[in-house]
Amino acid sequence: MQVYVYRNEEQVAQAAAMIFAAELAAKPNLVLGLATGTTPIPTYQRLIALNRDGLIDFSQARSYNLDEYVGLEPGHPASYRYFMNVKLFDHINIDKANTHVPSGLGDVKKNADAYDAAIEEAGGIDLQLLGIGHNGHIGFNEPNPRAFIYKTNVVTLTPSTIQANARLFDKEADVPRQAISLGIGGIMNARRVILLATGRGKAQAVRDAVKGDITPLLPASILKAHRNAQFLLDEEAASLL
Ligand code: F6R
């Protein structure tokens, strides 16, 4: 993994957006792996501006999101499908039919297997965008002493993740306790990974991922073993390195 430190989150977003632009220019039908959460929002805003100005074209791109809550309808304002539509897809020239978010409804195990098969069918993820949880999770792959889980799977959210995500719900009790998430294998199979981290709150997780051992207790640490992963950090997120 390579680590790049920028002055602030705007510069992180600018760098990330430029990577998207370069990769899409090289391969217009790029398969994107996308993330939700607060961290990528400035990057998505830049992608929207670049698309509006005709500098980046999503017309042939395909996308697969990392995760979704179990039990939330796509129209629920806290669902990740809703987030992606509102924060990105509604504002760029991507064909919505080419955008995919795992479904947390119905037979979720079956959905998980179908999601992996669909990504494989698409040729695999070319560019995977990630954030990092305060506990070092990537996607919703929570710290788990047993093993890195390879495939897309149903995960039980930790109390710290439930608390961190409660801001998007009326109250903490409304946060679903389970999610469907691309597994560690799906992330590691991406040809390129960029992980964004901004703010002091991410500094410890970033430090542990970059400087600590590779361990399932800090899932992002696996990215040290990825052949083409870059961490794009602001100074606060990098402050413990
Ligand atoms: C989101 C995701 C999560 C977030 C992480 C950081 O799709 O999979 O791993 O990237 O929880 O979230 P924020 O950016 O809100 O701090």
Q: Is the CB of residue 233 less than 8 Å from the CB of residue 6?
A: yes
Q: Sheet with 192-197: list strands edge to edge.
A: 2-6, 229-234, 192-197, 127-130, 31-34, 62-65, 99-100
Residues 152 and 181 sit within 8 Å (Cβ to Cβ): yes
Ligand 1 centre to CA of 138 (Å) is 7
**Closest residue to atom 4 of ligand 1, CA basis:** 131
User: Counting atoms of ligand 1 from 1, which one is nearest the CA of 139?
Assistant: 8
Size of the chain in residues: 241
138 lines ligand 1 (CB under 6 A): yes
Q: Which atom of ligand 1 is nearest to the CA of 34?
A: 7
**Catalytic residue of the set 51, 98, 111, 135:** 135
Distance (Å) of CA 103 to CA 61, 81, 98: 20, 9, 15
pLDDT score at 147: 73
Q: Mean pLDDT, 10 residues at a time, over the chain (241 residues)?
A: 98 98 98 97 98 98 98 95 98 98 97 97 98 96 86 93 90 95 96 98 98 97 98 98 97
The pLDDT assigned to 149 comes to 85
- Which listed residue (9, 142, 208, 236) is catalytic? 142
37 CB within 6 A, ligand 1 = yes
The Cα–Cα gap between 203 and 124 comes to: 31
Query: Which ligand 1 atom is nearest residue 161's CA?
Result: 11
Which residue type sits at 93? N
Closest CA to 116 of 26, 20, 188: 188
Q: DSSP string of 143-175?
A: --SS----S-EEEEPPHHHHHHHGGGSSSGGGS
Chain position carrying tokens 């039919």: 97
Could you tell me if residue 24 is left (phi over 0), alpha (psi between -120 and 50 degrees) or otherwise beta?
Answer: alpha
Across 81-102, b (16+ Cβ under 10 Å) vs e yields bbbbbebbbebbebeeebbbbb
Interatomic CA distance for residues 223 and 51, integer angstroms = 30
Q: Is 144 a catalytic residue?
A: no
- Tokens read off for 152: 């897309």
Rounded CA-CA distance 200/176 in Å is: 27
What is the structure's pLDDT at 85? 98
Contact 180, 64 (CB under 8 A): no
Q: Whose CA is nearest to atom 3 of ligand 1?
A: 139
Q: Is 66 in the pocket of ligand 1 (CB under 6 A)?
A: yes
Is 67 a known active-site residue? yes
